[in-house]
Amino acid sequence: MKWKADWGLRARMGLTMFLLFALYVVFVGVLWAYTSGSLLLIVLLMGSFSLGQFFFSDKLTLWSMGAKEVSENEYPELHGTVGRLSQQADLPKPKVAVVDSRVPNAFATGRSQKNAAVCVTTGLLNALDRDELEGVLAHELAHVKNRDMVVMTIASFLSTIAFLVVRWGWWFGGGDRRNQAPIWVAILASLVVWIVSYFLIRALSRYREFAADRGGATITGKPSALASALLTIDGRMDRVPQDDLREESEMNAFFIIPVKSGFVGKLFSTHPSTERRVEKLRELERQMESA
């Protein structure tokens, strides 16, 4: 299959960014009007920090996961597969990293197609066969191709700032009784902003996983291989110790399959259900066979 631009994804990205920008303008206006600029200063400082995070997102994400960038001599087959799939996706070959973890998972990071990294866990390498691994790597390259990580990093900025104001707003206000009303207005506004941005990001994140599944299947031409990989990863999660799962749960938005489970975890998940993703991949397989 030939790669096609996903206009549904682009439209959702554009709409999400526009709504978040409008939300940001209102947010800053409320902080300025009700806090005499004290909380606004914190927002500006955190904004500067987030810019640094944006430019070094690949290194920071790999570091936070304990990932190690590996050479071709260390993992020749992995490098060869990433290089070949990158050519098929018309992408520069990203950096390749490995995490020593029993949790079978993978993720992509980076601010652009030229500054991207693809990372897999040792648990994933041990769990999947060659075709399944290709499907997972192609899925991650589709994220890079769609520039998902750039948009999600920017989109997460407002949610993070609002959360910090909700958490620390009273302390920033100095606890002065005269400032109680303005500070509480700012905290309430921040709470609303955080909730709205949280669900906007979750909605975009779920759609982008479907888009990356389609993109990955387009790159390899084997939707069934990715479907099999998703089922294998999902099944292997039950064998991983809970301590390992808790350690990595903060990276759910990056992973190909999130590590949280249960009703609440599914309700607020950054990903659609594995069953739904597999169903869509099988539909795509049938379309490709009949084309």
Which residues are identified as catalytic? Answer: 140
Place of tokens 């909730």: 195
DSSP designation for 249: G
Question: Where in the chain does DSSP place strands (E)?
Answer: 68-69, 95-99, 106-110, 116-121
Q: Cα separation of 139 and 148, whole Å?
A: 12
Give the Å distances, CA to CA, from 260 to 46, 214, 233: 29, 23, 13
The pair of three-digit structure tokens given for residue 264, joined into one six-digit string:
């609440």
Kindly give, in sequence order, each residue whose CB lies less than 8 Å from that of residue 159, ignoring residues fewer than 6 positions away: 193, 194, 197, 198, 201
Burial of residue 130 (CB within 10 Å: 0-12, 13-18, 19+) is exposed
Burial class (CB in 10 A: 0-12, 13-18, 19+), 267: exposed
